A and B are shown apart, each in its own frame.
Chain A
Amino acid sequence: MAVEDQAFVTLATTDAYCMGALVVGKSLRRHGTSRRTVVMVSPNVSLEARRPLESVFDEVVQVDVLDSGDRAHLSWLGRPELGVTFTKLHCWTLVRYRKCVFLDADTLVMCNVDELFEREELSAAPDPGWPDCFNSGVFVFRPSFDTHTRLLEHAAQHGSFDGGDQGLLNSFFSDWAVTDIRRHLPFVYNLSANAFYTYLPAFHRYGHGAKIVHFLGGAKPWHSCSNPPANQDSRSQLDQYLSLWWAEHHSQSPPTVRKHSQLTPALTPPGPPHTPPSVTDSLPPEVRDLLPPRTPLPAPTDLTLHVPLPAPQTPDGMETDPPPGGEDGHSGAEASSSTSGATTEDEQPVESQEERKLQRRMWEEGHMDYLGRDAFQNIMKKLDRFLK
């Protein structure tokens, strides 16, 4: 039974965090959530990284603090160091949902946690480092423009005591620690995977009941090696969580997704205007279609972000993507796009720009083409432009 006005929300601000968001989405699906799933992405996230998200999440929302031109923008100008924080606060503007649960992209859902929606704003679990503060990796909230505005005002006035969203939210919801015990989520809903627990017996007693695991700190699961040590006995708890994370990452999208996404069109079309202005819709189809076959990848299988996708099912009757590398599909896409004459003119610059983007992404994944296009000779030419 799907509940349409409640959603799990996560956030990806970089391509790397998309890997995390993807795992959040997959793990929610696998445990059969009945709520909607939403991922917010910032504009710098590449199209390639968004694509897998689209097949897992119900909604991919682009949030751009800079473009909004409203109070958020002004606040950002005053406190640029809180940029990512403002992006996160954007979740309060998802007012088409009555209630939401925010999950950081570095969390892993271990079982069905739909019961979280029984809680009220702002429910969260204590932070392992300072239990009188809540950890903002998992929290229940009610989207509201009013709350959003007040949060921004608060940020502009007081800043954040830790420079991030957690400090801001804790000072805004400052009565969390003392007023209502029902807003204290049990620790198992936000168990920090890599903390060193000084109360080890408690961890042994309750740790296995973890419902949501949170990979706090600088070392994210996607930084680690995807092949955890073979020896089962010597593995630490963290390694076990890591291997679970990687298992989820490598897993095919569970069949429930397909079922769900098939269900969606039946439920959505006549429904209220909650079809989001997602990035897929705003993108010209020819750009989407051109991208994958054009990639001059040396070894596409190496790409961490290229998770195996099920053939994308597009509910709105859009053309399905051509099979990767299929020349026919490619030309077919071009033919279809050439029907609208105006776009062909713009195609060349768009494409080379996209190619530049892709080239940069290859660098960022450590797959630069150092014997060809990215040879130092070419970098030197760029340098020499500004050296006299």
Chain B
Amino acid sequence: MPLARSLSVTSLSGLDDWDEEFDLEDAVLFEIAWEVANKVGGIYTVIQTKARLTCEEWGENYFLVGPYTEANVRTQVELIEPSNPALIRTIDKMNASGCKVYFGRWLIEGSPYVVLIDVGFTAWSLDRWKSELWESCGIGVPWFDREANDAVLFGFLTAWLLGEYVAQCEEPPHVLAHFHEWLSGLGLMLCRQRQLPIATIFTTHATLLGRYLCAGNVDFYNKLAEFNVDKEAGDRQIYHRYCLERAAARCAHVFTTVSQITAIEAEFLLKRKPDFVTPNGLNVKKFSAMHEFQNLHAQSKNRINEFVRGHFYGHLDFNLDKTLFLFIAGRYEFSNKGADVFLEALARLNYLLRVNHSDVTVVAFFIMPARTNNFNVETLKGQAVRKQLGDTAHTVKERFGKKLYESLLVGQLPDMSKMLDKEDFTMMKRAIFATQRQCQPPICTHNMLEDSSDPILTCIRRIGLFNSASDRVKVIFHPEFLSSTSPLLPMDYEEFVRGCHLGVFPSYYEPWGYTPAECTVMGIPSISTNLSGFGCFMEEHIADPSAYGIYILDRRYRGVDESCNQLTTFLYQFCQQSRRQRIIQRNRTERLSDLLDWKYLGRYYISARHMALAKAYPDTYMYEPHDESQPSGFRYPRPASVPPSPAHSLHSSPHHSEAEDNADEDERYDEDLEAEKDRLNIRQPFALPHRLLTHNNSNSQKN
């Protein structure tokens, strides 16, 4: 029986039917984060995408807790009355004591319940609470750090909410509170300090100190064990924040982080080894037609082609059919995001392509928002010129067609010499003259505010990638997020990614890395590093990642120059692939999307919750840890006896010419065969081998 594509990973090994093994009937889950219904950074995405799965598991007993902001509530929350009687009493009581607590549904997938607390409204308690914090654990909070003061308010309010909820329940409830990031960590600490009967989980998505240290250009990963963390935090004036974070990690029943690499970081900087790694997932959109994503790639690529035609007008001496679009995107952190390494590798790639007389052209996009004064005139003019040429061609075509039609009406074959008259030629010549250009095509699409000190532009000046005709690598820096309403490149980010050939994310500091994950689920190959959470995860789960279009750069054990060389090799290899090889590679990349679906990655969260419940309520819940030594369904390295893996076929397939028909592609890309290969190459995310039993349940079974 042919496998449906979406089952490729599921089919790897039988899934335990875990639903019946524990009873969450009377348990309640509160998930607390500053970014609940409040977009500040990446944690918003994590919580928002995970909500649906958690709702399915916990139903009416799942509550997200976040800060109240009017603007956010107006746009994404529907305020309603709570249905849980204990929660009604809790909220009423708090509102009667000088708080403002709101309840509603967050209008996202799964529409979870949210409890939103107005932090500013209780600012009158700040001083009292700071005194309490000081008395209980000796941490003070400077008055000038507004964010930390908000964290104090939010922490005390959430602890109040949880404490009140426990008090309002008629029977002692099983409450699980999951806190994200240092901003909410104080609530956890207070729960423990007040000895509330609550199971607590703390998840840190990055460490405060790690981010600071990496941005500070220290040799972070090699010196991890040597840092005097108190001193580093104190010298960087984040000591109080660091204390809050570390205290939360210390107090939690279960401590988790998002990737192996962040786990190492946390072990050294927060001095606690995470109990679990809970990777971030996505909600993968399934298409009914298998190759739908390939069609979308073609459509989006055409739109990028149009932009490139305009951008390089007057210098369009390269074949767009043999042009590859590479991109890097994200927050503008020049070295943390690896833009430095990428640029250096591009310069080397340019050299390689030139000396090898390659006919491939590479256009590298940098999508990183910086401070600008809007679009620059030259780039806008490029698009206008392209449009004018299109209009001219269209006008001439209309007139040509009319003459042809009239000629045919009178039964004569047209006289080709009279089809285009002098006027048409004049118009066309004028249009061609308009494409003359004295300068090189611009690097940057916007007028930068700090043009002379901008790190990307400075680096480009140094390595000399100026989009000249002889350069095989062209660079376009778009210092603004993409938008479908832009007059320049009217595409949103997703469309743009689909139209590109390769995403390049050689980050030095990247706790998780949603950008390569998003590429993967859209079937676009990507380059990441073994210092990014995503890279570690893929390395762990796939035997030969690069066959699946997941190139993992070694930045941990190699010097910068070696890393640049490795990246150059990856890029050069990629450039040498034929169109068909790229199509097959994209198919394989897309097959990995199941691996990144919350449906699978959510299990890590489930396990973490079970462990916390078992620790806090040892009489009710039991947790048997999973035996790490026997991973199931994954053989690594690949045994020699199995049929050629995708990696093998990639290298063995001869260089097909572009002229080759796509019709035989399906013969070579066989779904069943690929699924078989997946089974050998991809390890299922998590086999859920542990058991969480409620004693009640097991007792009743015995009875």
Residues of B within 8 A of A82 (CB): 124
A378 touches B138 (CB 8 A): yes
Report the stretch among B25-33, B188-196, B572-580 that lies at the interface: B188-196
Residues of B within 8 A of A14 (CB): 127, 143
Q: In the complex, which of the residues B99, B137, B231, B237 contacts A379, with contact meaning CB atoms closer than 8 Å? A: B137
Tell whether A366 pairs with B138 under 8 Å between CB atoms, given A14-B127, A387-B250, A387-B251. no
A363 touches B189 (CB 8 A): no
Report the stretch among B238-246, B260-268, B474-482, B662-670 that lies at the interface: B238-246
Tell whether A366 pairs with B246 under 8 Å between CB atoms, given A44-B127, A79-B98, A375-B230. no
Say whether A238 faces chain B, with CB atoms less than 8 Å apart. Answer: no
Say whether B223 faces chain A, with CB atoms less than 8 Å apart. Answer: no
Say whether A265 faces chain B, with CB atoms less than 8 Å apart. Answer: no
Tally of contacts, chain A with chain B, CB under 8 A: 92
Residues of A within 8 A of B145 (CB): 366
Residues of B within 8 A of A16 (CB): 143-144
B192 touches A387 (CB 8 A): yes
Tell whether A80 pairs with B243 under 8 Å between CB atoms, given A360-B134, A386-B193. no
Residues of B within 8 A of A362 (CB): 140
B237 touches A366 (CB 8 A): yes
Q: Write the nearest CB–CB distance from B269 to chain A, whole angstroms.
A: 11
- How many residues of B are counted as interface, with CB atoms below 8 angstroms from the partner's CB atoms? 40
Say whether B464 faces chain A, with CB atoms less than 8 Å apart. Answer: no
Residues of A within 8 A of B98 (CB): 79-81
Closest to B146 in A: A218
Closest to B97 in A: A80
A382 touches B137 (CB 8 A): yes
Closest to B195 in A: A386
Contact with A along B223-253 (1 / 0, CB 8 A): 0000001110110010110110011001100
B143 touches A370 (CB 8 A): no
Say whether A371 faces chain B, with CB atoms less than 8 Å apart. Answer: yes
The prevalent SS among residues of A at the interface is helix
Residues of B within 8 A of A366 (CB): 142, 144-145, 237, 240
A83 touches B124 (CB 8 A): yes
CA of A44 to CA of B130 in the docked complex: distance in angstroms? Answer: 11
Say whether B131 faces chain A, with CB atoms less than 8 Å apart. Answer: yes
Which size class do A's interface residues fall under? 20 to 34
Say whether A47 faces chain B, with CB atoms less than 8 Å apart. Answer: no
CA of A376 to CA of B243 in the docked complex: distance in angstroms? Answer: 7
B230 touches A376 (CB 8 A): yes
CA of A360 to CA of B246 in the docked complex: distance in angstroms? Answer: 19
Which parts of B131-183 form the interface with A (CB within 8 Å)? 131, 134, 136-146
Say whether A365 faces chain B, with CB atoms less than 8 Å apart. Answer: yes
B144 touches A383 (CB 8 A): no
B192 touches A371 (CB 8 A): no
Q: Write the nearest CB–CB distance from B150 to chain A, whole angstroms.
A: 11
Contact with A along B301-321 (1 / 0, CB 8 A): 000000000000000000000
Contact with A along B525-552 (1 / 0, CB 8 A): 0000000000000000000000000000
B230 touches A364 (CB 8 A): no
Which parts of A329-347 form the interface with B (CB within 8 Å)? none
Q: In the complex, which of the residues B143, B234, B243 contacts A371, with contact meaning CB atoms closer than 8 Å? A: B234
Q: Write the nearest CB–CB distance from A278 to chain B, whole angstroms.
A: 21
Residues of A within 8 A of B246 (CB): 376
Closest to B233 in A: A370
Say whether A380 faces chain B, with CB atoms less than 8 Å apart. Answer: yes
Say whether B493 faces chain A, with CB atoms less than 8 Å apart. Answer: no
CA of A306 to CA of B144 in the docked complex: distance in angstroms? Answer: 17
CA of A360 to CA of B140 in the docked complex: distance in angstroms? Answer: 6
Residues of B within 8 A of A223 (CB): 144
Tell whether A368 pairs with B127 under 8 Å between CB atoms, given A380-B250, A386-B195. no
Say whether B484 faces chain A, with CB atoms less than 8 Å apart. Answer: no
Residues of B within 8 A of A44 (CB): 127, 131
Tell whether A371 pairs with B231 under 8 Å between CB atoms, given A44-B131, A383-B189, A386-B195. yes
Q: 17 interchain pairs (CB within 8 A)?
A: A13-B127, A82-B124, A218-B146, A360-B134, A363-B140, A363-B142, A366-B237, A368-B240, A370-B230, A370-B233, A375-B230, A376-B243, A383-B189, A383-B247, A383-B250, A387-B192, A387-B250
16 extra A-B contacts, CB within 8 A, seeds A371-B234, A375-B230, A383-B193: A13-B127, A16-B143, A81-B122, A163-B121, A360-B131, A362-B140, A363-B134, A363-B141, A364-B142, A370-B231, A370-B234, A374-B138, A382-B136, A382-B137, A382-B138, A383-B247
* Residues of A near any B CB (own CB < 8 A): 13-16, 44, 79-84, 163, 218, 223, 359-360, 362-366, 368, 370-371, 374-376, 378-380, 382-383, 386-387
